[in-house]
């Protein structure tokens, strides 16, 4: 299990550093430990025993490392998962259409509830180094996975989800999809 740094830590408000490629053994170990943490957090028995909040994404700054590494592990059905373990991810294109999570966003680094909608791009294309495949990739995705990737990439730039909440509750994007 990794220690999750809270939003009060200044590290979560700073820009993380790009990592050098080929990826070092220590950066690979960090990324795999982050993936393991997400898997453990999604196991109800393990999570209850170790007081873990379930998560679907994690960025290196959240575990105390100022590095451009993110991990996404999204349940799809009972046994399937969508998993990305990425270094130096960058959004290279995005849709005009926006989407938001009806229930609002949450974060392993944020304990308080922050009600409100975070409008994000519905579709994105991400270029990154896939640590599991050991190669450069492009990811075209939409909907919930796109929102999760944008949330984690924000962490690499010192941005937290509640920075993007519309405080005045104005409908900024009337055609935004509610997920």
Task: Sketch the domain layout of the chain as residue ranges.
Answer: 10-178
Q: Check: CB of residue 73 under 8 Å from CB of residue 92.
A: no
- Reply yes or no on whether 112 is catalytic: no
- From the list 105, 152, 167, 168, the catalytic residue is 152
pLDDT in tens, 55-92: 999 999 999 999 999 999 999 988 899 999 999 999 99
- Are 117 and 166 a contacting pair, CB within 8 Å? yes
* Average pLDDT of the segment spanning 140-154: 98
Quote the CA–CA distance of 132 and 84 in Å, as a whole number. Answer: 8
User: Contact 123/144 with Cβ under 8 angstroms?
Assistant: no
pLDDT tens readout for residues 91-122: 999 999 999 998 889 999 999 999 888 999 99
- Rounded-to-integer distance, Cα 99 and Cα 95, Å: 10
CB 161 within 8 A of CB 105: yes
* pLDDT given for residue 169 in this prediction: 60
Of the candidates 178, 74, 87, which has an alpha carbon nearest to the alpha carbon of residue 128?
Answer: 87
10-178: in CATH 3.90.45.10: yes
Q: Is the peptide bond between 51 and the residue preceding it cis, with omega within 30 degrees of 0?
A: no
d(CA 137, CA 140): 10
**Which among 140, 130, 123, 137 is positioned nearest to 177, based on CA atoms?**
123
Q: What pTM was estimated for this model as a whole?
A: 0.94
Please tell me which residue, 175 or 165, carries the higher pLDDT value.
Answer: 165
């Amino acid at each position: 299990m990794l220690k999750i740094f809270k939003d009060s830590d200044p590290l979560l408000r700073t820009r993380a550093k790009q990592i050098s490629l080929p990826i070092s053994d220590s950066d690979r170990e960090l990324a795999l430990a982050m993936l393991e943490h997400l898997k453990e957090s999604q196991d109800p028995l393990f999570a209850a025993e170790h007081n873990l909040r379930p998560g679907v994404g994690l960025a290196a700054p959240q575990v105390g490392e100022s590095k451009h590494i993110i991990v996404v592990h999204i349940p799809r059905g009972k046994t399937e998962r969508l998993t990305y373990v990425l270094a130096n991810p960058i959004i290279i294109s995005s849709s005009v259409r926006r989407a938001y999570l009806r229930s609002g966003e949450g974060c392993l680094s944020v304990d308080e509830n922050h009600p409100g909608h975070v409008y994000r791009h519905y579709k994105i294309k991400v270029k990154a180094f896939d640590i599991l495949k050991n190669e450069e990739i492009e990811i075209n995705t939409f909907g919930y996975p796109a929102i999760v990737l944008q949330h984690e990439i924000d962490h690499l730039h010192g941005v937290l989800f509640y920075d993007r909440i519309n405080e005045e509750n104005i409908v900024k994007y009337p055609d935004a999809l509610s997920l």
